[in-house]
Structure 1
């Protein structure tokens, strides 16, 4: 009972973050989101890009092999 009474009578901290600290915190949060976005690109987009390039190369090799020996490009 006394703990609930103690917690209900808490006063505000009256903390102040100056402009330098606030901008630093905002920059750190933005950098965290940018790093997460770049990690997503690195782990998702580049393997897909490599797979598409390999598929394109395989199609070109397959098309070149079916032209015959006397065909010039």
Structure 2
């Protein structure tokens, strides 16, 4: 077998071999223990709660302030009678 002389062919061959090795299925030797599993679940719940509170903070509170401002601007008409 002759060595590849063209540098472009050498790079293409290296890239092809690298991609082939990368996409080959490999058995996953993974185990998540109870401590790590509960930590992962707790992290996801905390992240979800933080996102929900961020939406509430950026959407609900400004709307609430606008509603209060609208109520405060409505004035009660004074009666025509004057007090002495």
TM-score by length of 2: 0.66
* Alpha-carbon offset, residue 8 of structure 1: 4.4
Taking the TM superposition and a 5 Å limit, the aligned residue runs for 1:14-53 are: 14-53=29-68
Could you list the runs of 4 or more consecutive aligned residues of structure 1 that deviate by over 6 angstroms after TM superposition? none
Q: Which has the higher helix share?
A: 1
RMSD across aligned C-alpha pairs, in angstroms? 2.2
Q: What is the DSSP-based 3-state SS (H/G/I as helix, E as strand, rest coil) of the residue aligned with 1:26? A: helix
Match in the other structure for 1:57: 72
Match in the other structure for 2:12: none
Structure 2 unaligned regions, length at least 5: 1-15
TM-score by length of 1: 0.74
Which gives a bigger RCO, structure 1 or 2 (Cα 8 Å, sep 6+)? Answer: 2
Structure 1 unaligned regions, length at least 5: none
Distance change >3 Å, CA 71–CA 48, structure 1 → 2: farther
Q: Give the total of aligned pairs.
A: 68
* Alpha-carbon offset, residue 67 of structure 1: 2.3
Larger radius of gyration: 2
